[in-house]
Structure 1
Amino acid sequence: MSVTEALPDTMFIGDLHFAVRESPRRATVGITVDRDGSLYLQAPTGCPPEALAAWAYSKRMWVYRKLAEKDLLLSARPAKEFVSGEGFAYLGRGHRLLVTDTDTDEVRMERGRLLLPRTAAAGPDPSAYLVRWYRARGRQWLPGRLRPWTDRMGLFPTGLDVRDLGYRWGSLSANGRLNIHWATLQLPPSLIDYVLVHELAHVAHPQHTPAFWATVERAMPDYERRKSDLLGAGARLWMG
């Protein structure tokens, strides 16, 4: 009886470096090119390393194209200055920052302007105050936006949180909690809806299988357009 060789944690395919993720829930192999350019190979338990390497090698030109897209998009990522007049987006609309003297250390919005306490602007990490504001806004706004989609899809997460997810717009934790990146609150609501529908579909389908995409399409027939728009809009967002 032969014993299947275990998959390594990483693989080099030519000049491409992949992290390897093995899961008993997968039935097929797959590649993910993360938004920061990180490469991942997903494989079902027991997949022979040679077969996985050969399959990844056959997909290398697709990977190179995706990496080229990432380089172009990441190069457009804006930097921000925490001075009066700097622009920040909220729900797809631009708002100007106003550095002001105030008796609170919290950011707030008044008459379409984001008010940043002067003490925060002069501190070592003024971005933390804006991130905290986006997270608080998201926890207030997202539940009402999510509810019609859960009712339509019949899929219900165990909870909702707004966090820093690195280079992911959303995630579904092992216990079924839906996590949304605070930076998505800068997007237009129609693109936030795509993130919500995408993650809700993972309640029923953990992997990006044909059944997963069919679930997304039933809820959102124009999801491909929104997915494409998110790729472009997301590259221009401030990420903290």
Structure 2
Amino acid sequence: MAYEFRRGKRRTIGFTVGVDGLVVSAPRLTAVAEVEAALREKERWIVSKLGEARERHRRMESTRIEWRDGASFPFLGEQVVLALDPRQRHGRGGAVLETGSQPLADAPRLTLHVGLPQSATPEQLRDTTQAWLMRQARRVFTTRLDHYAPNLQVQWQKLSLSSAGTRWGSASADGSIRLNWRLVHFSESIIDYVVVHELAHLREMNHGPRFWAHVESVLPDYEVRRGVLKEEAVPRW
């Protein structure tokens, strides 16, 4: 297979696998024959990792949201259909979530009516939907924090929403909690794991055995939930 080859200030031969392919890095004076021997030795690992990277990319691309009338996105683990509705009762720029009375088989039962005209741009629809999702995230997160804090015998003081690329939450010793608003795409079971994780940090500001014991005391199946979170594909915006 083709690969990108780099030489630089390093002591060993290294391999980096991503959706764009394989990058091989080697010390400046390493012989090409030695690099090729290392490639043959790592052949199965490289092929496996390339397959995983491409599958992960495929899954991520399949979740990309098309910002148009009739598109869908996940909310609390359930698909929601977007509907441009300039007559929507909250006025231009607002949004109302409605539940279908008799949904068709395999069809989403939830519709978000967005108070924008049919001529609205994808950016306008995206920004209005994001504002709605962030409001829902604050509401849901606050409810779950209030629910679990007594179980862990802690008090949280402040909730902030983050847009971190890879971090779902954080906690400070002063009781401040930060949660990624994109968690609102996932089911409440997954949200609860992150909420309990951060609340447990108000007892133990580390990831030692005592910390995980606190998490397990509230969520005995936390390892299953954590595994699901790692596998979940976050919608591409």
TM-score with structure 2 length normalisation? 0.66
For the pair shown, which has the larger CA radius of gyration, 1 or 2? Answer: 2
Structure 1 residues 120 and 182, CA gap change in structure 2 (3 angstroms): farther
Residue 79 of structure 1, aligned match among 51, 58, 64: 64
The percentage of counterpart residues that share the same residue type is 28
Return the offset for 1:185: 0.8
How many Å separate the matches in 1 of 2:125 and 2:98?
19
> Are residue 96 (structure 1) and residue 81 (structure 2) matched?
yes
> Are residue 113 (structure 1) and residue 107 (structure 2) matched?
no
Unaligned runs of 5+ in 1: 1-11, 18-60
How many Å separate the matches in 2 of 1:173 and 1:96?
37
Alignment: residue pair count: 183
Structure 1 residues 230 and 16, CA gap change in structure 2 (3 angstroms): same
Deviates more, 1:153-162 or 1:215-224: 153-162
Return the letter of the residue paired with 2:185: Q
Q: Deviations over 1:95-138 (max 9, x none)?
A: 11112224411233133311232378415453222221111012
Q: Deviations over 1:189-208 (max 9, x none)?
A: 11110010111111122222
**Contact between 2:67 and 2:122, CA under 8 Å: does it hold in 1?**
no
Return the offset for 1:166: 2.2
How many Å separate the matches in 1 of 2:137 and 2:119?
21
Structure 1 residues 130 and 70, CA gap change in structure 2 (3 angstroms): farther
Structure 1 residues 122 and 229, CA gap change in structure 2 (3 angstroms): same
Structure 1 residues 137 and 154, CA gap change in structure 2 (3 angstroms): same
Cα RMSD of the aligned pairs, angstroms, is: 3.1
Q: Which runs of 4+ in 1 moved over 6 A?
A: 64-71
Return the letter of the residue paired with 1:93: E
Unaligned runs of 5+ in 2: 1-9, 17-41, 100-109
